[in-house]
Structure 1
Amino acid sequence: MKLDIKALGTFYEMAREGAGLAAGRLTRMTGVETRVGVTKLNFMRGSEIQKEFDDGRDKVGIRVELSDGIDGHSVIVFDRESALEVVRILLDSADADEFDDMSRSAVTEVGQIMNAGFIDGWADVLETAIDVETPEFVEGATADAFIGDLAEAPNADDFALLFQSRIEAVDTEIEFRHYLFPERESMARVLDRHRDPNSVGIEYDKLAGFDEMAKQGAKEVASNITTLTGIDTEVEVRRLNFASLEAIPEEIDDEMLVGVAHELDGNPSGYLLFLFDEQSAREVVEATVPSPPDDEFGDLGVSAIKELGNIMASGFIDGWANVLDTTIDHSPPEYIHDYGAAVIDPVVIQLGEDQEFAFVFDTVMRANDREFDCSIYAIPDQADLERALNELDVEKVADAETKADVSIDELENA
């Protein structure tokens, strides 16, 4: 299966159009004001999809099987309390706290109408008809309950293209997510119909290989952080997103963030950002500065964070360069201390001069026993990424040397 930016862009517009229709139909049915949140195409391993479902929360889902225009399953997933809130609104039942036949029917109807909104939007963009089977009510707390019996759901090590949309209810405690699990051969046919005939395209398996390289790089970053700071960290979330540039800032937490940004020069070029919440940044300063200053974000603190940024950047991209048999340089770290999306807006503006969409390698690392989170955003230039992937030998990825060519001691003494 080959991917190209034009076809993926069509799919992205399909997902966004469907989310808009679904949100409008939920509002008309319940009177609850809604807005479309993040819409994206995720390339995820089956193990990460399972983690997302296995979050310890009871959930309720409505899933429908699709055929003809696209084969697969469309699934609306509410957390249990949100589904009960839908029941209370529709049935005017203030004390609804269990699912009987009537409440199941109410949630199923809402889920079916929302699924239909997504599907109608996809059909409009794809200019095709999509057949829909009878909706199925599902409840549980694990991935197995919702997707365990779906043939198109990926196994733990499989790399899958997954459509995700989030619709937010305004001033109401209703949370839910939407997933499209397409059947791979059906997806390949649709992609092929919408490909740019002048594009070389990207082999799907090579994108999976590059994702594995990013995962290895993230593990190396976690190892470097542990060595330098003594903070035992591990990679918790890994996914590769395809989204419009304008949607990327929506993923950034609305809080004060501290971090560093690097510009990459090579094949591929692009940008690499490491972002900490303020408490995590304080942990970095306290762990790396012998006598931590009262102001963690003064000159000494900034220097410590920039130094760690250099080490993390080397750990993340050296494996890429080794496998691609190329050189990827990174600029000196640019210190960032700003609120929410403002930390990434300059990158989006710069990339937006030449492209509308981007692949984003999105990683979160956490420490088990400390207040420490680090988000990594690697955003390659899309033309460079296509060239790099066409040259990638997937068989070399598993044996790639991911260790940084520059040691931590050398960087500390630089």
Structure 2
Amino acid sequence: MKLDVNALGTFYRMAREGAGLAAGRLTHMTEVETQVGVTKLNFMRGREIRRDFEDATEKVAVRVKLTGAIEGYSMVVFERENALRVVETLLAESDSDTEIDVEAGEFDEMTESAVTEVGHIMNSGFIDGWADVLETVIDVSTPEFVEGVTAEPFFGEVDETPAEDDLALLFQSSIETVGTEVGFSHYLFPKRESMAALLERLRTSGGIEYDKLDGFDRMAERGAEEVAKTATTLTGIDTSVEIRRLNFVSLEAIPEQVADETLVGVAFEFDGMPSGYLLFLFDEESAHEIVDAMVPMEVDEDGFGEMGTSAIKELGNIMASGFLDGWANVLDTTIDHSTPEFIHDMGAAAVDPVIIQLGENQEFAFVFDTVVMADGREFDCEVYAIPDENDLERALNNLDVDRIEETPTTAEFQELENS
């Protein structure tokens, strides 16, 4: 199975179109204004998909089986409280005398039926949007109501869910109701053979073999392990870095996905095969935690004076080296990166300069969703690794996947002076 950016771009537009239709139908049903939230094409391993459902939060879902141009399963997932709020809104609009106890969180036959109807209409909105973009027909089974607090009820009967270490292409969208606390996520689990046929039909260039992209993800995982080792050595603090998933998103959508809060980070330009940009973004609280962990003395009150800035830049330098030197070793090439540029700005403004530069030559980007753990404290860190599309295709097509486990990924980096 081969992937090319044009085919993935069509899939991305398909997901956005479907999310737009689903949002419109939810608005029509509830008369509550809705908006499309995040839309992503995720390359995720089975263990990470299941982890999303193992957070002890009670969830309900409406699942349908797909046949035709896309085979697999489509599933709309609510947190239990949000599902009951949707039913509560629907009943209020219908002037029903029935009251819903959202806090109790119990479903009876009527509320289960109402949620199933909402989920089915949402699923149909997504699927109709895909069919419109693909100019084809996709058939939908009778909807099934599912609830639980673990992954098993949702995925136990879904053959298309990947095994623990298998990489799968997963569509994920969210819709939010404006001014309320109701929202939900959507997942598409396509059958591999069905997805391969669609990709082949949509492909316009040579493309990247799917196992090479799997290798790219494993390269990043090994690079992350090297980041952790080097950071531990430098700081003396037990540190680990974990890549949860590889997302394929529109460049225009990246600023929309960045949290609307003050962010701290570092940006790099890298040059070689491939070339591109690296961006590490932390929320401000996490950045303060990093400074406290790395600087063994009291620093400026805001934590981002000379010492704080240097600490963040130094950690960014280590992370960049861990990623890029590992890639270079496995690809048997040379990748150099610039000195880190410190970022301390609000939301989208933190990423706009990089997006503007990239937007001159490409429309989409691969983004790593990463969490950094240091000394038992969790740092939320978004890693935007955005290689040049043509460079990435050439580099991965030359990749010998057998080299990934055999090649050392030791990072080489120069420490920054506290100047």
Q: Which of 268, 277, 280 lines up with 2:274 in the alignment?
A: 268
Write out aligned runs for 1:294-305 (5 A).
Answer: 294-295=300-301, 296-305=303-312
**TM score, norm. by length of structure 2:** 0.94
SS of 2:158 mapped into structure 1: coil
| Partner in structure 2 of residue 278 of structure 1 | 284
SS of 1:291 mapped into structure 2: coil
Write out aligned runs for 1:15-414 (5 A).
Answer: 15-92=15-92, 93-96=98-101, 97-196=105-204, 199-295=205-301, 296-367=303-374, 369-370=376-377, 372-406=379-413, 411=415
Deviates more, 1:370-379 or 1:22-31: 370-379
2:226 maps to a residue whose letter is E
SS of 1:74 mapped into structure 2: strand
Query: Contact 2:329–2:407 (CA<8 Å) still a contact in 1?
Result: yes
1:119 maps to a residue whose letter is I
Q: Distance in 1 between matches of 2:139 and 2:283?
A: 46
Query: Contact 1:363–1:377 (CA<8 Å) still a contact in 2?
Result: no
Deviates more, 1:292-301 or 1:376-385: 292-301
Is the alpha carbon distance of 1:146 and 1:263 closer, same or farther for their aligned partners in structure 2, counting shifts above 3 Å? same
Q: Distance in 1 between matches of 2:240 and 2:294?
A: 19
Query: Contact 1:359–1:382 (CA<8 Å) still a contact in 2?
Result: no
4+ residue segments displaced more than 4 Å:
none
Query: Contact 1:25–1:117 (CA<8 Å) still a contact in 2?
Result: yes
Shift of 1:237: 4.7
Is the alpha carbon distance of 1:62 and 1:294 closer, same or farther for their aligned partners in structure 2, counting shifts above 3 Å? same
Query: Contact 1:229–1:284 (CA<8 Å) still a contact in 2?
Result: no
Q: Deviations over 1:143-186 (max 9, x none)?
A: 11111211111010110000000101111221210000000001
Query: Contact 1:269–1:384 (CA<8 Å) still a contact in 2?
Result: yes
**TM score, norm. by length of structure 1:** 0.95
Shift of 1:412: 5.8
Query: Contact 1:243–1:357 (CA<8 Å) still a contact in 2?
Result: yes
Query: Contact 1:217–1:317 (CA<8 Å) still a contact in 2?
Result: yes
1:158 maps to a residue whose letter is D
Q: Distance in 2 between matches of 1:39 and 1:240?
A: 13
Query: Contact 1:48–1:238 (CA<8 Å) still a contact in 2?
Result: yes
Q: Distance in 2 between matches of 1:281 and 1:55?
A: 25
Is the alpha carbon distance of 1:230 and 1:370 closer, same or farther for their aligned partners in structure 2, counting shifts above 3 Å? farther
Q: CA RMSD in A?
A: 1.7
Shift of 1:56: 1.1
Query: Contact 1:279–1:371 (CA<8 Å) still a contact in 2?
Result: no
Q: Deviations over 1:333-363 (max 9, x none)?
A: 0011111121111111111001111122231
SS of 1:53 mapped into structure 2: coil
Q: Deviations over 1:376-401 (max 9, x none)?
A: 22111111111111110011111221
Query: Contact 2:367–2:383 (CA<8 Å) still a contact in 1?
Result: no
| Partner in structure 1 of residue 95 of structure 2 | none
Shift of 1:290: 4.2
Gapped runs of 5+ residues in structure 2?
Answer: 93-97
Shift of 1:202: 0.4
Q: Deviations over 1:17-46 (max 9, x none)?
A: 000000000110111210001111111111
Shift of 1:370: 3.0
